[in-house]
Amino acid sequence: MTQQRILDPEQIQTQDPTAIPRIRLPERATLFKERAARLRKLADRNPIGGYMRLMAALVDAQQQALEHLDAQMPSTEAIAHAQRHSMPILPALGANRDPQWRAVLRRLADRIEATGAVTPALAKVLDALRAMSDAQLDAQADALLAQRYAEVAPATAPFIMAALQTVWTDLASRLDVKEVPYVDAPGVCPVCGLPPVASIVRVGGAFQGYRYTQCSLCATEHHVVRVKCTNCDSTKGIAYHGIEGSDGALKAESCDECRTYRKIGYQDKDLEFEPLADDLASLTLDLLMSEAGYRRASANPLLYPEAPADQ
């Protein structure tokens, strides 16, 4: 594993920050389509290739469900309240979650089953989802969104999260960028309040050279200056780690202040980099970071390991 220590993070801000697009809302017509294609491409010769192809099928189902989704947007009063108080505009942890997310979940399960590639183990997972009551599903959703992973059933969690992602992506894609407030809490999405899955340094147009974190729920991208921890906001003790011999398109950005890391991708080295897909495909880097004494700042939305017994 290679490492590069950054000594002067403040030098990265050499341009007028008001010229930088602060928010990049999800492209509902292509987000899940491109993610699924990336998952399939990265699955080749990957140790978890079979699982990634299953998740690609799930992401395909998300795209299909999104095309027919019209979730309940917040009221004008709710938007104004969020703006006044610097709160997420579509809070994931709010009490007003659109109940149709459960119908989306069942449609996703049906589409996965319709692929004809359901193994006995997967059939058991789908049966478990269908057997859950509305209250049980909502309890699992609450635990996932609040990151109480000890309460999460790892086998069914990716499917539940996929349904929630579909609903929140629908909502976020219909926002006006100007409506999205600034939020006080570091490292959270200004749209839904959840943490990012990874960050991406983009190329092209107004986004050229700027780093954006991608939300793990609604896929909104939020500008964050480089060489800054996306978990605790520190600019001290930031380092970058990569796999020896790689092309450098994906690294882990670690912080010595909070001892966490998130992955960061560079489109100038791989134009097809997709934060969630590339994060899922790079478990080797996760193992190396764990051995180096760092922990993930947040889970990948499509993979939830068993929580330790003492949590």
In tens, the pLDDT along 118-134 reads 899 999 999 999 999 99
Question: Residue holding tokens 């058991």?
Answer: 124
Q: Specify whether the CB–CB gap between 38 and 274 falls below 8 A.
A: yes
- Read off the CATH number of the domain in which 168 is found: 3.90.1670.10
In whole angstroms, give the CA distance from residue 58 to residue 108: 7
In tens, the pLDDT along 80-106 reads 999 999 999 999 997 788 999 999 999
Assess whether pLDDT exceeds 90 at residue 222: yes
pLDDT band at 186 (very low <50, low <70, confident <90, very high): confident
Assess whether pLDDT exceeds 90 at residue 8: no
Task: Tell me how long the chain is.
Answer: 311
Show Cβ contacts of residue 106 under 8 Å, excluding neighbours closer than 6 positions.
129, 130
pLDDT band at 305 (very low <50, low <70, confident <90, very high): confident
171 and 39 inside one domain: yes
232 and 265 inside one domain: yes
| Centroid of chain to Cα 36 | 14
pLDDT band at 9 (very low <50, low <70, confident <90, very high): very low
**What is the model's pTM?**
0.91
Scanning 18-119, the segments in alpha helix (DSSP H) are 31-43, 49-66, 76-84, 101-114
Range of the domain at 265: 2-22+184-296
76 and 14 inside one domain: no
47 and 149 inside one domain: yes
State which of 142, 177, 212 marks the end of a domain. Answer: 177
165 and 60 inside one domain: yes
In tens, the pLDDT along 143-185 reads 999 999 999 999 999 999 999 999 999 999 999 999 999 988 8
111 and 214 inside one domain: no
State which of 159, 177, 195 marks the end of a domain. Answer: 177
